[in-house]
Structure 1
Amino acid sequence: MAEVIAIAPKTVPESLLNERTTPMDYAANCASSQQWHKPPLLSICIPAYHRPQGLAQAVRSVVAALPPESQNRVEIIITDDSATPAAVEDLLAGWSGRWYYQHNAQRLGMVANWNASVAKASGDFILLLHDDDYLLPQGIPTILEILTREGTAFDVFLFGVHLVDQHQRCLRRQIPRRQGWLSPAQALRQLLRHSSFVRFPALIWRRSLLEEVGYFDPAYGEATDLYQWLRFFARKGVYTVPRATAAYTIHDQALTMGMFHAQTLATLRQIFTAAADFKILSPAALRECQGDFFHQFILAGTWRFLRRRQWQRAQAVYQLFELPEVIALGRSRRWQGLRWLFGAWLWLLRQIS
């Protein structure tokens, strides 16, 4: 059983609000107020797990972004997989829109918690915000502006992000080059050539897409997000917006630090097989994309450990290039220079040690 606290705006009579209620009670409470007959434009879903400070920052970045008269356009949903419930009432004291908090008495796990969060969304569009990321001050106004203007024509939107460290220092910016729609073929080529083309808080999709393609599939493990974006892009393409709306945190505790191994590459091969089934890109184009993707993935993992002076772990990741399935893809012209540089660096470190 999950502990659920669901709060509607203060305009709802107090007699209809219980300290603890079920999701169905929550829907009824909201429906009792005239202003909630229309669903919000955007649901911001925050699947939390043992980061109380990060959760607080994520929630505050939403609450502080909108004046009270605009908060009914956004709802906040928190599903908490932590051992103990978070004190979210104080964080949301100034929020006049819908919000929903659920503490999972038994841990669901990463992907299941994502699905639990988005399943409770009632907005036209969904943004999944992890509890180690946060929205920039103009993030929500920018998103609402674009969704209001373009939301009737497009279903998937990709914004820019600031990549920050755990001290909120901006390391670099990742922002789409142009504003406009990428067809499914164009979107898949970008997604499957660049291992970090999509950062989680930068992507927003129409809620009804989950009914078309399904929820996040746990069978794809740490690459389940890539598989989900593949299914979205193959059907709808993506509308890119060259404006940063969120901060994406890179830190030592990130779950992605543990994904640079052979099993992940095997999962990625399954995703490329699924991409082939859509018959949108030619086999030659897919092979080129896969070669670039695998090279970038291995080099990115190698760099993360080199930067932290974890030489043996960096070497272990770099050796993924020796796997037969990676060798079969051939060299990536795009990444060949950096691969040579990292190889020389690691060779020199071995000689010194």
Structure 2
Amino acid sequence: MPLLSICIPAYNRPEWLKRAILSILTTPIEQQPQVELIVSDDSTIPACKQIVDELIVNWHGKHHYCQNTPSLGMAGNWNHCIQIASGEYVLILHDDDYLEAGAPGKILETLQQHPNESALLFGVNVVTSKQNIQKQQIFQSQKRLTSKEALEKLLTNSSFIRFPGIVLNRQVFQRTGYFKETIGGIADIDLWIRICQQYGLLCIPITTANYTVHGNALTMQMFNTQVLKGIENLFKNVEAQQWLPKSTLQKCKTNYFHQFILAGTVRHLKRWDAKSASNTFKLLNQFNIENKHLKLKWKIVKITLKIILNPKDLFIFVQQSNEV
């Protein structure tokens, strides 16, 4: 049995799928038998299968390609990847993300050093479509977070866990369940909450993957009222389960919602879509979000974006200052 299954849920992005698979092929040949390569393909075009067929001849480990007809949908495809995996551990690598050179070998070594850990979180680079690093999300030292510590981190920072950075023992899904296919784009957040609550996290100070931010990413569709109501319900469920104190949850919610909404605003501005940016920014007024415990960096970003989106506010502020 392989130690690690690297699962790629693919959908109509052959060139990026090629990049993702090539990054897995950097695994040293002697370690490849310990790694299983899985592609679960929801694509409606044949190009993705052609890419897999072309590249898989260079792979010396176990592999599995599955064409999903009909398509399973986002969360359904994630679940299918896990269900057909045979490795002891699972890493889901979206087709628009890719691993650092030699990363599979480093992950294998870490798993062998920590055989009793169920959930491990590695560092990731946040990169543009041209592979320019925007942000390095890495841990300074190895640390094990308890369930409460992991939950608080997750519910304070909307980007704390990124898909290509988390590696899970396959048995985790037998206890926590899989991604809920009925709740749309927040299915990952919902599962991370359950995993953190039951297992905590081992944070590893090694960068293994690159998470791509681009205009066609599914996450661009996340910045709306429906998604935020879903996230709010996740917070309510954590409160109902008494997994965290209510006062802690309120602090978490303040910063989580601000980070999420402000990040969406910035992404739209980078696409020169001022209307969508403004609509996203206004989401802050639609929810009961306190400012009392808001971190300074989000206060600064919020004020800056408000001025960018409403220049007249700066004019009024300057005018009032001159009158004093």
> In structure 2, what is the equivalent of residue 123 of structure 1?
87
Match of 1:53 among 6, 15, 27: 15
Could you tell me how far 1:288 is from its partner in structure 2?
Answer: 0.8
Q: 2:26 aligns with which of 31, 53, 64?
A: 64
Aligned pairs for 1:1-353 (under 5 A) are 39-67=1-29, 69-85=30-46, 86-87=49-50, 88-150=52-114, 152-323=115-286, 325-327=287-289, 329-334=290-295, 335-348=298-311
Offset at 1:331? 4.3
Distance 1:338 1:351 in 2: 15
Displacement, 1:299?
0.6
CA deviation vs aligned residue, 1:281-318 (integer Å, no higher than 9, x gap): 10110111011100111111111112222111111001
**Paired residues of 1:76 and 1:99 also in contact (CA < 8 A):** yes
- 1:224-254 deviation per Cα after TM superposition (whole angstroms, max 9, x unaligned): 1111111110000000011110111111100
TM-score by length of 1: 0.85
Q: Which residue of 2 aligns with 1:3?
A: none
CA shift for structure 1 position 102: 0.5
Contact 1:81 1:109 in 2 (8 A): yes
- DSSP-derived class of the 1:101 partner: strand
Ranges in structure 2 where 5+ consecutive residues have no aligned partner: 316-324
The count of residues paired between Structure 1 and Structure 2 equals 310
Distance 2:69 2:313 in 1: 48
Cα deviation for residue 349 of structure 1 reads 7.2
Please report the TM-score for the alignment, with normalisation by the length of structure 2.
0.92
Counterpart of 1:108 in structure 2: which amino acid? L
* Residues 164 and 172 in structure 1, CA contact (< 8 A), matched pair in contact too: yes
Q: Deviations over 1:14-70 (max 9, x none)?
A: xxxxxxxxxxxxxxxxxxxxxxxxx11100111000001111111111112222x21
* Paired residue type of 1:272: F
- Distance in 2, matches of 1:242 and 1:302, equals 30
Q: Work out whether residues 26 and 102 of structure 2, in 8 Å CA contact, stay in contact via their aligned partners in 1.
A: no
| 1:89 match: secondary structure | helix
Q: 1:125-178, CA deviations, whole angstroms, 9 ceiling, x for partnerless residues?
A: 00000000011102111111110001x221100001111111112222111232
Contact 1:234/1:278 (CA < 8 Å) preserved in 2? Answer: no
2:90–2:167 contact (8 Å) kept in structure 1 = yes
* Amino acid across the alignment from 1:46: I
Give the whole-Å Cα distance in 1 for the aligned partners of 2:91 and 2:159: 18
Partner amino acid, structure 2, of 1:180: K
Identity of paired residues, percent?
37
Once the two structures are TM-superposed, the CA of residue 196 in structure 1 deviates from its matched residue by 0.5
Shift of the 125–315 alpha-carbon distance from structure 1 to 2, 3 Å rule, reads same
Report the residue type matching 2:243 in the other structure: I
CA contact (8 A) 2:251 2:294 kept: no
Question: 2:265–2:280: 8 Å Cα contact kept in structure 1?
Answer: yes
CA distance in 2, matches of 1:110, 1:116: 10
1:258 positional shift: 1.3
- Preserved contact between residue 307 and residue 314 of structure 2 (Cα < 8 Å): no
Which consecutive segments of 4 or more residues in structure 1 shift more than 3 A?
329-332, 349-352
RMSD (CA atoms)? 1.6
